[in-house]
Amino acid sequence: MHAKIAVLLVLAFFVSTANAIPINPSFESGLTSWNLGSGTDPWNISVVNSVSAGPDTLLPTDGNYFLTLYSPHFGSGPTYLWQNIGDLVAGTAVSFDWTSSGDPLFLSGNFFGIYSGASEVLSVALATAPILNGPGTSWNTLTFSLPTDLPDATFGFKVLGSPENNMLYIDNISVASVPEPSSLALLAAGVGLIGFTSRPPKRTAIAQAV
Ligand SMILES: [Ca+2]
């Protein structure tokens, strides 16, 4: 029986490991596993444990660190980073904490996006009530569910240039993928096989012994 339980655990492991994306989702390992966008100045991306401006201090929502993306001015090009997270299925729950600051006229230059291959399939503008050159005073949480399957998905954040300093802060990313149908079928087959082999001895054997 212990061997059967082990088989179930192994099958459950393969199903659950499909959910471990993205890597380093809370920036506790710095920028590990995240890629800087083409042309992005590395000085404009950092991982910090707090940002202060005047009486306001912004702290992480998860762990000890969070991401800051900075775009100093027009002409500097977009500042962005991204991570490929593989195939996603419809129903995958995505969420993250964010806040931003910058010029009131140009806060619409902060984005979260998902690409599938070379196509952008989702772009969400991220803008809070602005505090020029300082952190947002509180975090927001964006949560949504993918409406369709996304093969070869890439997950990224982008800040465009503006006349003033635009900042975007990100923490606590979660991509809770639902198991793919093939994985569920594998698990169901395993459960069925174990149920079949666990059936008690046939009554005919008992009847013959009496
Ligand atoms: Ca964190």
Judge whether 12 lies within some domain: no
- The model's pLDDT over 140-176, given as tens digits with 9 standing for 90+, comes to 899 989 989 999 999 999 988 666 667 889 999 999 8
Q: Which domain holds residue 113?
A: 22-176
In the prediction, which pLDDT does 39 show? 84
Cα–ligand 1 centroid distance for 65 (angstroms): 4
Q: Residue 45's domain is classified under what CATH number?
A: 2.60.120.260
Quick check: is 4 in a domain?
A: no
Give 201 or 79, the one with higher predicted confidence. Answer: 79
The mean pLDDT of 69-86, rounded to a whole number, is 83
Residue 87 lies in a domain: yes
Residue 3 in domain: no
Which residues line ion ligand 1, judged by CB < 5 Å? 26, 60, 62-63, 65, 171
CA of 118 to the centre of ligand 1 (A): 29
The CA 102 to ligand 1 mean position distance, Å, reads 22
Is 17 contained in some domain?
Answer: no
Q: In 146-185, which ranges are E strands?
A: 150-159, 166-176
Determine, yes or no, domain membership for 188.
Answer: no
In Å, how far are 51, 63, 78, 177 from 87, measured between CA atoms? 35, 27, 26, 10
In a domain, residue 7? The reply is no
72 has a pLDDT exceeding 80: no
Check whether 129 has a pLDDT greater than 60. no
Average of per-residue pLDDT values in the chain? 77
Report the 10 Å Cβ neighbour count for 92. Answer: 21
Q: CA-to-CA distance for 174 and 21, rounded, in angstroms?
A: 8
pLDDT at 14: 47
Confidence of residue 71 (pLDDT cuts 50, 70, 90): confident
Distance 28 CA to ligand 1 centre (A): 5
Q: Which of 178, 17, 172 is nearest to 95 (CA)?
A: 172
pLDDT tens, residue by residue, 17-47: 444 589 999 999 999 999 999 888 888 999 9
Q: Into how many domains does the chain fold? A: 1
Domain assignment of residue 97, yes or no: yes
Least confident span in 49-58, 83-92, 96-105: 96-105
